[in-house]
Amino acid sequence: MQESQIIRTEYSDIMKKSYIDYAMSVIIARALPDVRDGLKPVQRRTLYDMHELGIRYDKPYRKCARIVGDTMGKYHPHGDSSIYEALVVMSQDFKKGKALVDGHGNFGSIEGDGAAAMRYTEARLARFTQEMFLADLDKDIVDFVPNFDETEKEPSVLPVKVPNLLLNGAEGIAVGMATSIPPHNLGEIIDAVKAYMKNPDITTKQLMKYIKGPDFPTGGIVINKDELLSIYESGTGKIKLRGKVEVEEAKGGKKRLVISEIPYTMIGAGIGKFLNDVAALVETKKTNDIVDISNQSSKEGIRIVLELKKDTDVENLKNMLYKKTRLEDTFGVNMLAVADGRPETLGLKSVIEHHVDFQFELATRKYQTLLSKEREKKEVQEGLIKACDVIDLIIEILRGSRNIKDVKACLTEGKTENIKFKSKVSEKMAKLLKFTERQADAILEMRLYKLIGLEVEALMQEHEKTLANIERYEDILNNYESMSSVIVEEMDACKKAYATKRRTVIENAEEAVFEEKKIEEQNVVFLMDRFGYAKTVDEATYERNKEAAMAENKYILKCKNTGKLCIFTKEGRMHQIKVMDVPFGKFRDKAQPIDNVSNFDSSCEEMILLISEEELAACSLLFVTAQGMIKTVDGQEFLVSKRSIASTKLQDGDFLASVQKIEEGAQIVLQTVNGYFLRFVGEEAARKKKAAIGVRGIRLQKKDEVENVYLLREGEDKKAFYKEKEVSLNRLKLAKRDGQGTKTRI
């Protein structure tokens, strides 16, 4: 029995190696496209499976569930959702420069609607895919590798005839890296490839005479033309996009803005987000020029209409939309692909260079296979022609032999021992026969009608055609110019059949500048009910409805519409809200949850103080925690730009019992859950920074904590209640901070 061996190694080394192996697997075998065919493994396997199933462009559609199941079972042992999602995206012409799959049914929409379940939808290969991606697979044009369980063979790459990496672009997130390549125009790409083949020393700048820039299926406008050269040279950068906005005349001298093309980045939920952003601009009074918003998009294309007021400054409004919404957006370019088996960031010229090398490799393998087949045909044809000249002798050999073995031996080696001949002359002639094995097989399989004169003549013509093919294929394989012309011919045919006009405009545009209308400052009253629904009204409205406002709302605060409100929570956070973000209107208008306009989350936070920014700037705040820690903090410390910050530092398990404004000369009374009251002067609460814990205000008994905090002005008679017993706070003994306090007897 063999003894087991224990290998000692560093755990960190094993983890490092394992993680690198995992990362490379995700990068190479899942997330990144191959520079040669521009496809990720899941896309390649899905297209090949459809090809194998015979779901061609001229055949009936088949259920997507069948395609997904077959692909998963044979080639891609991952989740069915990832395969179906890849299939859906390849069928969406609003995402791809050229759709690779012809979908039938609900395959989603540009507005973000998802595709129907795979059991409902059907698909087949697009004609473009069949001709440009899957042709010649039977000619040993690419390597085939075993599938995951070695029961099938799959192509390591598809023999794509166009630079699909540029045509359809790519998006993918791997481990530690991501790819983002925009789609381009087919005709422009082909012209650039031809230019490179004529002059391999061509520069990226010269290539861009043919490829103007990306060509997004959604159209739109690229507005940073001058930056495209550096993006295409390095393979990384940012493309600035704008939607196409047109101005239409409406009734009564009014105008409307019509968005007929959107930025590529707005596909999906981005359209709904844009509509919400425009509505928010109107609601928050950033603009008063928009009367109505409607999405009139249909199968014919995008049409988002903004109805405008009379005498609207249209240019200023357009610039505002560019600045404040996703009508102007950025497409991040990172042209990362798998090249020679490893991930590499490629420039425009590098992608074309890899493509051309791949085309020459494909052409070489294709014409080597064709040449081999033509040479086999030539051999057979020569044998048949020769056999026609001595057909009487061959018939005599056949009639005089006992088995096919003797016949083949005679035809190939001239052996006549086992064959009876009518004459010695025939035997002598038979000994001179030297047919090849392949020729002998062809002669034995030849039918008698082939001896008809016309058939013999057709055989001679076919032989001449075969010789011409051999000469042509040898010329292609031995002559660079000949192979180049063949590749160019195929690309020209592709361009003629499938090229379309450019949809995206490339230009240099000035940065959008708009004059934001200054909001007229006014005093408003903030109202919030016990459910956290808030709104603002003007002071006059509040005064008219004062009693109802006080009865219905938990918080009422006077502030300026240009200011901010600060929420202090029990958990030690401070959240800021712009008053302008809170709905403003009539007293009975609908309010909005405070959570919607701030980072405050009422489901897991408790509000203990609401104060205006102006009030906060002019006061000090007293912080008291449940564990009895106290401090005062200058309100100026909380005037920050962030929407949410830590308002104080808390010990483990502690929380804020109270945050209040404290005036100079005030006295502090702390009341605990167990009924201890401690009264001391406010100056004893140390002034600290907001990040400090503070000092101890009261010595707590076991399982006790601060419950209430009261502030007394000198001479003020203030009452408190503890378990329904009234306590006069000004009669409590004035003690020192950090005492135990007085126990209230019930």
Residues catalogued as catalytic: 120
CB 72 within 8 A of CB 64: no
How long is the chain?
Answer: 746
- Report how far residue 424's alpha carbon sits from residue 404's, in angstroms, rounded to the nearest whole number: 22
* Structure-token pair, residue 312: 């609207």
Angle in degrees, 0-180, between the axes of helices 480-498 and 348-389, rounded to the nearest 10: 110
CB 113 within 8 A of CB 297: no
Cβ-based neighbour number of residue 293 at 10 Å: 17
- Radius of gyration (C-alpha) of the chain in whole angstroms: 41
633 membership: H or E segment, kind and range = strand 629-634
CB 712 within 8 A of CB 666: yes
Residue 659: closest CA among 619, 622, 626: 622
- Report how far residue 589's alpha carbon sits from residue 583's, in angstroms, rounded to the nearest whole number: 9
> Which long-range contacts link 408-412 to residues 24+ away (Cβ below 8 Å)?
408/437, 408/440, 408/441, 408/444, 411/435, 411/439, 411/440, 411/443, 412/436, 412/437, 412/440
47 membership: H or E segment, kind and range = helix 41-52
**Four-residue CA torsion sign, 660, 666, 670, 671:** negative
Residue that is written with structure tokens 């928009």 in the block: 290
- Report how far residue 47's alpha carbon sits from residue 76's, in angstroms, rounded to the nearest whole number: 12
Instruction: Cite the DSSP H helix spans in 117-268.
Output: 127-132, 164-167, 186-198, 204-207, 228-234
CB 194 within 8 A of CB 185: no
- Report how far residue 408's alpha carbon sits from residue 398's, in angstroms, rounded to the nearest whole number: 10
Residue 665: closest CA among 620, 627, 634, 623: 620
End-to-end CA distance of the chain: 85
Residue 259: closest CA among 203, 227, 220, 309: 220
Q: Strand locations in 406-521, DSSP E?
A: 505-506
Instruction: Cite the DSSP H helix spans in 284-390.
Output: 314-324, 348-389
